[in-house]
C-alpha cells in the first residue's frame, strides 16, 4: 500500500523494481545459512538470521507517508475505463464509500452459499472487493502460485536428500532457483516497463515454464539437470509473482484496492500453509515425491486455464462490476 501511495501511476514498475531484492535473498541465504549452521549450530544460525533481518526495523522507521498531493486522472493502457489514480480521499467521500459498501455487503450476506464467509469478511470490511469478477479470478490465480512456490521451496532439499545427495550440494539447487528468480524479477520489470504484462504473459506462460521445470524432478536424478530445473522453476515463479502482484490494481477498483490487497495476502498465506500441509500429506500417503511435484504440475495447468479466462474477462471495465463504484 505504501507503493500505491508513493508511486501511483508507476506502481507496477516500482513494484517490479522492489521485487528484485527478494530473490537475492533466495539465492544467497541457503548456502550462507548452511555455513552458519555448520559453524555456530542451528541456534547460532537463527540468531545471526535475526540480526541480518533487523534492517527491516530501520527501513520501517525511515519509510514516510505519502504527501497526499492532488491526483491526476490517467487513461489505462490496458484499454480499461478511465479511473483516478490512487491518492487520499476526502473524509466526506470516504464516508459515502463506506456507507455504500456496507449496504452492498449486507445484500450479499443475506443471500448465497457464501453468506458465512461474507459475514466473516464483513467484520474486517473486506467483502466488497470480491464483487469484481476480475479480482476473484486474480485471487485464485495468485493463490495457486503461492502454493506452488511454498511446496517447491519446502521439498526441494528433502527431495535431494532422498536421492542421496549431501546437504552441502543440495542447497545449491535453492541458489540456482534464487538466481533464476532474480532474472525472472528483472524480466518482469522490463515487461512492466514495456506495458506488456497481462494474464497471459504473467500467468499462463510462466505456469507452462514451471510445468517444464517440475518434470525434471519426476523423470531424472541427474544433479545438473535438477539444478537446471530449479533454475527454471525459480525463474518462472519469481517472474509470475512479481507480475501478478504488480497487476493487482488493474483487477479491482480504486475504492476497494486496500481490501483487495488484504485479501490477496490473506488467501496467499492460507495457500502457503496448504503448500506445506497438503504436499506433506501427499508424501506421507504415497511415499513418493513424484506425487508432490505431479500435483504442482496439475495445479499450474489449472493456472494456465484460469489465465485464459481472466484475460477474456479483464476486457470489461472493473468499474462495471462494482455497483457502489457506479453510484459514486
Q: Which residues of 110-133 are buried (b: 16+ CB within 10 A; e: fewer)?
A: eeeeeeeebeebbeebbbbbbbbb
Average pLDDT over residues 241-249: 86
Same domain, 266 and 146: yes
Same domain, 167 and 284: yes
**Domain presence at residue 78:** no
**Domain presence at residue 80:** no
| Cβ atoms within 10 Å, residue 212 | 14
- Min mean pLDDT across 149-163, 188-202, 308-322 is at 308-322
Same domain, 114 and 140: no
pLDDT in tens, 78-101: 333 334 434 444 445 445 545 555
**Domain presence at residue 221:** yes
pLDDT above 50: residue 76: no
Same domain, 235 and 251: yes
Same domain, 117 and 258: no
Confidence label for 253 from pLDDT (cuts 50, 70 and 90): confident
Q: What is the pTM of this model?
A: 0.69
Q: What is the DSSP letter of 20?
A: T
Confidence label for 165 from pLDDT (cuts 50, 70 and 90): very high
pLDDT above 60: residue 115: no
> Most confidently modeled of 5-9, 44-48, 204-208, 252-256?
204-208
Same domain, 136 and 108: no
**Domain presence at residue 295:** yes
Average pLDDT, the chain: 78
Same domain, 140 and 247: yes
pLDDT above 50: residue 135: yes
**Domain presence at residue 11:** no
List the domain range (segments joined by +) for residue 234: 20-34+132-321
pLDDT above 50: residue 273: yes
Per DSSP, the residues of 58-122 read: HHHHHPPPP--PPP--B--TT-PPPB--S-PPPHHHHHHHHHHHHHHHHHHHTSSTTHHHHHHHH
| Cβ atoms within 10 Å, residue 239 | 30
Query: Which H or E run contains 57?
Result: helix 55-62
What total of structural domains would you count in the chain?
2
Same domain, 30 and 119: no
Same domain, 30 and 102: no
Amino acid at each position: 500500500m505504501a507503493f500505491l501511495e508513493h508511486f501511483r501511476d508507476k506502481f507496477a514498475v516500482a513494484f517490479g523494481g522492489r521485487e528484485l531484492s527478494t530473490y537475492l535473498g533466495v539465492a544467497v541465504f541457503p548456502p550462507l545459512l548452511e555455513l552458519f549452521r555448520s559453524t555456530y549450530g542451528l541456534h547460532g544460525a537463527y540468531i545471526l538470521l535475526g540480526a541480518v533481518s533487523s534492517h527491516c526495523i530501520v527501513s520501517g522507521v525511515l519509510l514516510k507517508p505519502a504527501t497526499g498531493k492532488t491526483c491526476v486522472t490517467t487513461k489505462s493502457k490496458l484499454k480499461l475505463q478511465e479511473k483516478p489514480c490512487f491518492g487520499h480521499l476526502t473524509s466526506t467521500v470516504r464516508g459515502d464509500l463506506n456507507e455504500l459498501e456496507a449496504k452492498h455487503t449486507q445484500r450479499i450476506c443475506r443471500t448465497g452459499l457464501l453468506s458465512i464467509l461474507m459475514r466473516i469478511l464483513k467484520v474486517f470490511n473486506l467483502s466488497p472487493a470480491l464483487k469484481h469478477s476480475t479480482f476473484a479470478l486474480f485471487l485464485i490465480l495468485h493463490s495457486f502460485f503461492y502454493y506452488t512456490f511454498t511446496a517447491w521451496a519446502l521439498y526441494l532439499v528433502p527431495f535431494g536428500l532422498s536421492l542421496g545427495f549431501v546437504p552441502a550440494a543440495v542447497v545449491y539447487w535453492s541458489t540456482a532457483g534464487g538466481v533464476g528468480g532474480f532474472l525472472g524479477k528483472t524480466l518482469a520489470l522490463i515487461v512492466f516497463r514495456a506495458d506488456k504484462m497481462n494474464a497471459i504473459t504473467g500467468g499462463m506462460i510462466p505456469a507452462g515454464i514451471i510445468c517444464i521445470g517440475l518434470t525434471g524432478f519426476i523423470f531424472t536424478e541427474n544433479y545438473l539437470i535438477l539444478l537446471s530445473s530449479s533454475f527454471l522453476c525459480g525463474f518462472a515463479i519469481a517472474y509470475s509473482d512479481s507480475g501478478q502482484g504488480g497487476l493487482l490494481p488493474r483487477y479491482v477498483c480504486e475504492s476497494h484496492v486496500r481490501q483487495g490487497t488484504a485479501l490477496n495476502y490473506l488467501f496467499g498465506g492460507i495457500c502457503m500453509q496448504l503448500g506445506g500441509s497438503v504436499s506433506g500429506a501427499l508424501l506421507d500417503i504415497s511415499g513418493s515425491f513424484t506425487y508432490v511435484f505431479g500435483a504442482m504440475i496439475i495445479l499450474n495447468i489449472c493456472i494456465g486455464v484460469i489465465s485464459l479466462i481472466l484475460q477474456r474477462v479483464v476486457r470489461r471495465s472493473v468499474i462495471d462490476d462494482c455497483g457502489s463504484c457506479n453510484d459514486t
